[in-house]
Homo-oligomer: A and B are copies of this chain.
Amino acid sequence: MINAKVISIGDELLIGQVVNTNSSYINAKLYSNGFNPERVITIGDNEKDLLAELDDSMRNFRITIITGGLGPTHDDITKPILVKYFNDELILREDILEFVRNFFAKRNLPMPETNVGQAMVPSKSKVIWNHNGTAPGIWIENDDRVFIAMPGVPFEMKAMIENDVIRMLKEKFASELDYVLKSKTLLTTGIGESLLFEKIGDIKSIIGNNKMAFLPSPLGVRLRIDVTGKSESEADRIIAGIEGKIRSRVGEYIFGVNDELLEEVVGALLRKKGMTLSTAESCTGGLLSGRITDIAGSSDYYAGGVCTYSNEVKSGFLGVKEKTLEEHGAVSEETAKEMAEGIRKKFGTSAGISVTGIAGPGGGTESKPVGLTYIGYSDESKCYALKFNFGDNRERNRIRAVQACLNLLRKELNEK
């Protein structure tokens, strides 16, 4: 396999001021094109560290991609160091200078003189054109290795990857790309990591020499399958085999694959069944309707919702009986049911969903601890509420409650 290393340069990355999203982006592109990202290094604007990394790359990596340190100011060290390391010299490229001048002219700005330096590139390099900025990318080949330097500005770097870098890499390594890496992620919710692990059982017998990773979050556990095949279709076949075995064991918890969102899945189901939805939220305070309306076109099936933070609103607005609130409390099966029924009728939708719980940190008691949540569902044929406990962290239990509402809807709609 053709392995790759990404070197991200910049003090702002090191001290945690900026999150390094460039390396994830680059690696996802490399990986999906059959290259194997093995390492990401973040270092400061520091000559010694970069030279050591170039040495390491010469020994261990076929592809090295450097981002950052290519701008026009004093702390931009990448170009001089590449020149030094490869015993090269900088030459002025008139075509780049012309491009940079135009870049400023188009914006009605004078070109600062420092930008002439942008047109200087190592004599033995190829140029990767930067259509979104003034610093060109640099492509250096050294026998069977490639070194690529690009600016750290995501908007500039991404266009260079899309337009040229991946294509150039595939050309360079065409004779060796005789395999395909593929991955697929199965998205589960409503089950914890260790229970999921147990239910799946002997993983080795399912995946063979391929890989599977468990990636937990408050939204659920993602299962990522990574396989290598001789061809696209072989890799697809292997993935399908593994996926089938996993689904036969824990299929009921899988709501989607790859980047799908549960709110998208639920929206598609509502659309398919020709149903409309309204929501009544207490503890989640609008996050559920926020998730539902994240999806463009959700107005086709979503009428709206209420956030009933006070009891007055619950009774005055949704028609939850005062007796119910008195006898059972706002956080109860009965209230959740009346909320779901109330919102469905008030908004005239085919289904209504409600959620009421103790988000915390205050408000918990022994019998009703923080995290206790009831989710109610109502349509014309039934009305019920389920009890959950989502733990004692306010932020997380709100996220988990919203996910559980959507998952309950998914299950209901699948049965329609």
Q: A residues bordering B, Cβ < 8 Å?
A: 10-21, 23-31, 37-45, 49, 71-75, 107-109, 112-115, 132, 134, 153, 155, 183, 185, 192-195, 197-198, 203-204, 211-218, 224, 226, 279, 281, 284-290, 292-294, 296-299, 302-310, 312-313, 317, 346-348, 359-362, 389, 391, 393-396, 398
Contacts and interface: CB of A to CB of B under 8 A. Distances in A.
A321 to B, nearest CB: 18
A49 B39 contact: yes
Contacts of A29: 16
B203 A74 contact: yes
Contact of A24 (B16, B153, B185): B16
Contacts of A10: 213
Most chain B CB within a 10 A radius of its CB, from A112, A218, A290? A290
Contact of A313 (B132, B304, B391): B304
A318 B194 CA distance: 47
A29 B18 CA distance: 13
A230 to B, nearest CB: 20
A231 to B, nearest CB: 20
Contacts of A303: 309-310, 312-313
B75 A213 contact: yes
Q: Number of copies of this chain in the oligomer? A: 2
A23 B38 contact: no
A18 to B, nearest CB: 7
A169 to B, nearest CB: 15
Contact of A195 (B109, B213, B317): B109
Given A14-B38, A19-B19, A41-B42, 9 more contacts: A10-B213, A16-B26, A17-B24, A20-B20, A71-B216, A75-B212, A286-B293, A286-B305, A304-B313
22 contacts: A10-B213, A14-B27, A14-B38, A14-B40, A15-B183, A16-B25, A16-B26, A16-B28, A18-B24, A41-B42, A107-B389, A113-B198, A285-B298, A286-B288, A286-B290, A286-B293, A289-B309, A296-B359, A296-B394, A299-B310, A304-B308, A304-B310
Contacts of A185: 17
A10 B281 CA distance: 37
A75 B226 CA distance: 13
B309 A304 contact: yes
Contacts of A195: 109, 112
A411 to B, nearest CB: 20
Contacts of A43: 38-39
B20 A23 contact: yes
A115 B74 CA distance: 52
Contacts of A290: 284-287, 290
Given A11-B213, A28-B15, A286-B290, A391 B41 contact: no
Nearest to A28: B16
A283 to B, nearest CB: 8
* 5 residue pairs, one from A and one from B, having the closest CB atoms: A285-B293, A16-B28, A286-B289, A286-B286, A16-B27
